[in-house]
Structure 1
């Protein structure tokens, strides 16, 4: 005898299977939105940005997210940038120190160096154009007791033995201090940290000579310029200057080399590095 409930059980099973299949066929977008809703707030996609009459983006976020895709593509097409180049977003075709991403967010022209986001970072607005290093014409050869042997580098390499209080022959440099020092590095090797302190009698500037290394003088200088080339500034070590394109903010030159100039913002003590391109 046939079981009269079998058709009902079979029909119920079909309904369950159909429901499961329907759930698997849920659109990918719905699945993505559901997954994203479970992420921390800072990792979720922000709302789509507003655009102006030309279709250009008016956004203030720090990244280009999924909902900004249309505005992003329209902006790239407007400036004839290659949408297929994955590196284009971080490129800087006009060389003004700002990437296409930053120009997009500020709605500025990525092909015009005079059109760029607000200049709030001197490391982006300035670059090292030139560096000239002036050195003392003398180095420390070694220290023997209370005397030091100093070698001239501006002639035949003559060596002069001096003690504290002596003035170097032919130079306005007085020996203020002779200090013999030894230390051990991380490899257990002995390191000579001996030094001689000199003073320029005319400028009262002090210099420290260490193991065969020349000392830089205050005549060393760097030339900084804005990325658009409109402003140029010559600075020395220790100088305090105002950024040419931003009045009211003072910076002090902390260090200089062939590759970069390190400056410190005076009001908040923040350090910035100005690189050579």
Structure 2
């Protein structure tokens, strides 16, 4: 038998084995290929982690809504339940034990026996300590309704007590929220001062006529028509007036006539004020003068023996400054040194005064 025939017979005899070997080789190659692919794919996430620049920067999470939601958990909103058409009216028993019949809650007297009923108290104004501050307000800002010191406390250190903040409807925990600072002003005293300007003569100058005006302190001013002297404007000179040589001054709607060489028999009301927060004093405060307190400006519109009325320039709201009480006067005495300022217009003299000065 030829070699070719032997090979053909061998192939025929081992055909199934050859097919099995080829299949095994293909499977082995496939398995090897899969292993390589898996290894390559499994390394890609680590490669990406090694390159953080490929990822976008995460934005900040807004937790405001979550905080509000968590805060509302402790303050659940209570819905008001109205009475239906067929609902019963709120009733209480008559205070008269012999009567005791059900009467309307707001009844002032019993419709059956006529007995007077207790006054209906508004729950929003109830004060357990009876210190002028309602329990509702104390609870709102976290104060103890049984603490007797709440009314006089100043938790935000703005100089105003909780009672003052309550009356002004301001926030007792916020130093920027406080009552009007002018409410801390007090009148130390009011005095009558003789008019301090005296017309003494005139002087011809190249630019015009100047009028000599003397102050009671000894100072001499030379002013022309249209110029101001100690808050008064020179408006006219009447050399042949019936009452003599007259210089006319004005302040607001008031005209003042100064006769040459004579004192004006007229008095000016001047007040001494004190600011309780820092014990700063304002002396010789006169009508139409302007006071500046912590950035707010107030114009004096009226002075009376026991009160000074001022108007805030920004809001045009008027404020009446009360007199200094004896308790406040004693506190001021214990407070030590004080800053003294003049409350009049620019150029007016500051007259010293003591804390105990009286009108």
TM-score (norm 2): 0.30
Rg: which structure is higher? 2
TM-score (norm 1): 0.37
Q: Which has the higher contact order (CA 8 A, sep 6+)?
A: 1
